[in-house]
Amino acid sequence: MAQVIERVQELLDPAEMIPRVIGRYSPLHIDHGEGVYVWDVNGERYADFTSGIAVVNTGHCHPRVVAAIQEQAARIIHAQANILAHSPMMRAAKLLTETTAPNLNQVFWTNSGAEATEGAIKLAKIATGRPAIIAFRHGFHGRTHAAMAVTSSRVKVRGHYEPLIPSVYFAPFPYVFRSPYKGAPEDADLYYFAELEMLFDQMVMPDDVAGLLVETIVGEGGYLVPTKRWMQMVRELCDKHGIMLILDEVQSGMGRTGKMWAYEHFDIVPDIMTAAKGLASGMPAAAVVSDRAHMDKWAPGSHGGTYGGNAVATAAAAATLEVMRDEALPENAATMGAILMEGLREIQADYPVIGDVRGLGLMVATEFVHPDGSPNPDAVKQVVAEAFEEKTLLITCGTYDQAIRIVPPLVVNEGQIREFLEVFRRAVASVG
């Protein structure tokens, strides 16, 4: 305790040191974490149902990941990939490609989701020799310039930063809960697919399109799950026109949805996949994964970076992939996700302020509505604040912050899920 108090006295005011562009959800100054929980510098414990934005899928500071980081840090930290090969990078690539479809067999390592987006776009352009990219409304792919250009989850991500890269064409993503389509709900996906196809009649020649980039499950934009039929039609459209299907699995991958990769739910395989977030349990590692035949078209030196494949980060990735496999975390996500979803639907039945409960596995969101059905970010704010009072961390998503993400670490157990549901019910009840 004396140690904790000493540390509190040492604290610097974040407002002095950190620019306000880093907006924060909570005033917490954190000390350490373990599994589903984090402790602040005052020794207070919080249940982390954000997973640091869907990152610590193996739980905070999983002992095997910590050991791998410590061991590697003492061996070599920086073995620059253009100069040296090293085991963690290759072992992590092997473990990663053991989880993916056979055509996703080579890994370009990078540091963040945005950089993976950049790499995937560049690879699609090089592999096809074409200039254009199709992306989807509500999508989020990162904050660098190309990533902003394919992002439309909310205007503040890209507004005032123009010019962005050109030749990006947007189609609407099937957000069926809020759709201009008023026909039979089971046909909504056909409407959205027709909108996508219309791009080729109105905006861009298909043989100018290098890649079609889509989040398998839309994350920041609202946790939107497409139908299997829509995904399969998109895959077929890409095949028909020689367009590379690029699936962004940065948020939906690494077991989050109850399968290792969300694309497995749809019986399709992408040509290029991006991964980050959960990939290294919080160390900065990200990946562009594709077939060697495509990767071979990327001439040496035509893409790269100083830190990609960092030895400590990829040691953490390798340990993370092993933990994911050995502890069957995707399976746990499916089981716990079903309990979570059922509990949330019960709360929804009692409180019409929850308009929609959606998701797959432990990638789940609840959307809040006014009585007229319009987005209700005020209710979201209150529920997040009430949950915080009960020492539970939550984050929002959606263009208007109209939804709350529920994304605990995949090591979460049933008792913790049920405890969370009680907290959430009380928080929703406070809104009425």
Ligand X SMILES: Cc1ncc(COP(=O)(O)O)c(C=O)c1O
Single residue of 104, 149, 260, 276 touching ligand X by CB under 6 A:
276
**Residue 149, CA distances (Å) to 142, 202, 205, 246 in order:** 9, 20, 19, 15
Between residue 306 and residue 335, which ones bind ligand X under the rule CB under 6 A? none
Of 2 and 22, CB closest to ligand X: 22
Q: How many CA atoms lie within 13 A of 88 on its CB side?
A: 30
Examine residue 359 and tell whether it contacts ligand X (CB under 6 A): no
Contact in structure between 119 and 250 (CB atoms under 8 Å): no
Single residue of 88, 119, 211, 219 touching ligand X by CB under 6 A:
219
Q: How many residues does the chain have?
A: 432
Report the C-alpha gap between 216 and 251 in whole angstroms. Answer: 9
Examine residue 251 and tell whether it contacts ligand X (CB under 6 A): yes
Contact in structure between 118 and 302 (CB atoms under 8 Å): no
Report the C-alpha gap between 306 and 14 in whole angstroms. Answer: 29
DSSP secondary structure letter of residue 183: S
End-to-end CA distance of the chain: 40
State the minimum distance, in angstroms, from the CB of residue 143 to ligand X.
6
Single residue of 40, 220, 367, 401 touching ligand X by CB under 6 A:
220
Examine residue 142 and tell whether it contacts ligand X (CB under 6 A): yes
State the minimum distance, in angstroms, from the CB of residue 165 to ligand X.
16
State the minimum distance, in angstroms, from the CB of residue 401 to ligand X.
15
Of 21 and 299, CB closest to ligand X: 21
Query: Residue 1 class from Cβ within 10 Å (0-12 exposed, 13-18 middle, 19+ buried)?
Result: exposed
Between residue 22 and residue 61, which ones bind ligand X under the rule CB under 6 A? 53
Q: Which stretch binds ligand X (CB under 6 A): 19-27, 77-85, 186-194, 245-253?
A: 245-253
Total number of residues that touch ligand X (CB under 6 A): 15
Report the C-alpha gap between 215 and 141 in whole angstroms. Answer: 8
Single residue of 60, 130, 138, 141 touching ligand X by CB under 6 A:
141
State the minimum distance, in angstroms, from the CB of residue 415 to ligand X.
29
Q: Which stretch binds ligand X (CB under 6 A): 135-143, 205-213, 331-339, 375-383?
A: 135-143
Report the C-alpha gap between 231 and 45 in whole angstroms. Answer: 41
Work out whether strand 132-136 and strand 209-215 pair parallel, antiparallel, or are unpaired: parallel
Chain residues in the site for ligand X (CB under 6 A): 53, 112-114, 117, 140-142, 215, 219-220, 248, 250-251, 276
